[in-house]
């Protein structure tokens, strides 16, 4: 098992062509962010579904400031409410306010109850450009990350394998992958950026995740695997949501 090293981060930088703003000290964005729900986003089998979007506390206060963005995909059998339900907004508020991570936008789309593999294409072709048009993102791959839970983790990995220049890295939390996906793993080389895999010790998907992570490393990819107590359930993901945000901060800082 290889454990990921998590580090604190500083604030983001302006996107090419954006209004330049000074780099602010850590902890300058204090307070409670806003989770906008029911946002029409071009993602999902029907082409548009209601996303949830987290905006940090300082988003409205400074209309010229731009922010890194993380796309967080839910698992099968649920919807855009999964990430808020496991406490991602509360965790982000605490980490941003204390300066442990930079203020960031979190886009949590609804991929439908099955979160099909085809959404990897929707993510890259539709959701990413939509987010850059709709919110004040930094708009550069170095300031953009993706991750997901279970089926959402699988779709995040598929997107990074197909389009390695779109995201700075990937978080795969109990992803639905295994030996059948060796061809996908082979495409996740260094161009895909760092990948953090994690899985519970009692998760039925554990063996598949371990195999897939080993295949990514064999292909030359940067893959860390973290295993902890727990199963394939919200209690496990809730217990690690702070670790997830810290990892994403290392990608987009």
Q: What is the CATH number of the domain that holds 58?
A: 3.40.50.1820
Is residue 210, in this structure, part of any structural domain at all? yes
Q: How far apart, in Å, are the Cα atoms of 187 and each of 27, 104, 125, 158?
A: 38, 28, 19, 9
Q: How confident is the model at residue 26 (pLDDT cuts 50, 70, 90)?
A: low
Is residue 9, in this structure, part of any structural domain at all? no
Contact present, 109 and 81 (Cβ < 8 Å) = no
Is residue 15, in this structure, part of any structural domain at all? no
Domain of residue 80 covers 34-252
Strand 195-200: give its sheet, edge to edge: 34-41, 49-55, 105-108, 69-73, 144-149, 170-173, 195-200, 223-228
Q: How many domains does the chain fold into?
A: 1
Is residue 4, in this structure, part of any structural domain at all? no
Half-sphere exposure of 77 (CA within 13 A, CB side): 5
Round to whole Å and give the CA distance between 64 and 82.
31
H or E segment and range at residue 160:
helix 151-162
Q: What is the pLDDT of residues 217-234, one digit of tens each?
A: 999 999 999 999 999 999
Is residue 23, in this structure, part of any structural domain at all? no
More confident residue, 48 or 8: 48
- Give the N- to C-terminal CA distance of the chain in Å, as an integer: 26
* Mean pLDDT rounded to a whole number for the chain: 90
DSSP string, 183-245: HHHHT-SGGG--EEEEEETT-TTHHHHHHHHHHHHHTT--EEEEEES--SSHHHHHHHHHHHH
DSSP letter assigned to residue 15 = P
Is residue 205, in this structure, part of any structural domain at all? yes
- For 9-18, 78-87, 96-105, which range has the lowest pLDDT when averaged over its residues? 9-18
Neighbour count for residue 27 (Cβ, 10 Å): 13
More confident residue, 114 or 44: 114
Residue 212 has pLDDT above 60, yes or no: yes
Is residue 191, in this structure, part of any structural domain at all? yes
Residue 46 has pLDDT above 80, yes or no: no
Q: Are strands 105-108 and 49-55 parallel, antiparallel or unpaired?
A: antiparallel
CA 66 to chain centre: 18
Is residue 26, in this structure, part of any structural domain at all? no
């Amino acid at each position: 098992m290889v454990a990921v090293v998590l580090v604190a981060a500083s604030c983001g930088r302006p996107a090419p062509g954006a209004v330049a703003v000074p780099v602010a000290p850590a902890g300058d964005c204090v307070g409670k962010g806003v989770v906008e729900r029911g946002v029409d986003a071009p993602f999902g089998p029907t082409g548009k579904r209601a996303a949830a979007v987290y905006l940090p506390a300082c988003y409205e206060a400074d209309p010229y400031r731009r922010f890194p963005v993380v796309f967080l995909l839910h698992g099968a059998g649920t919807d855009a409410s999964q990430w808020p339900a496991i406490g991602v907004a509360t965790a982000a508020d605490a980490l941003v306010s204390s300066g442990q991570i930079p203020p960031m936008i979190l886009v949590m789309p609804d991929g439908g109850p099955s979160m099909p593999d085809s959404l990897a294409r929707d993510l890259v072709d539709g959701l990413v450009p939509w987010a850059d048009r709709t919110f004040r993102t930094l708009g550069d791959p170095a300031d953009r990350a993706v991750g997901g839970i279970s089926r959402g983790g699988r779709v995040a990995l598929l997107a990074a394998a197909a389009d390695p220049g779109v995201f700075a890295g990937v978080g795969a939390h109990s992803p639905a992958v295994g030996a059948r996906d060796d061809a996908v793993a082979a495409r996740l080389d260094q161009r895909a950026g760092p990948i953090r895999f994690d899985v519970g010790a009692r998760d039925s998907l554990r063996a598949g995740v371990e195999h897939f992570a080993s295949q990514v490393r064999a292909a030359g990819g940067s893959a860390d695997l973290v295993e902890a107590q727990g199963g394939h359930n919200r209690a496990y993901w809730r217990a690690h949501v702070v670790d997830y945000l810290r990892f994403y901060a290392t990608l987009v800082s």
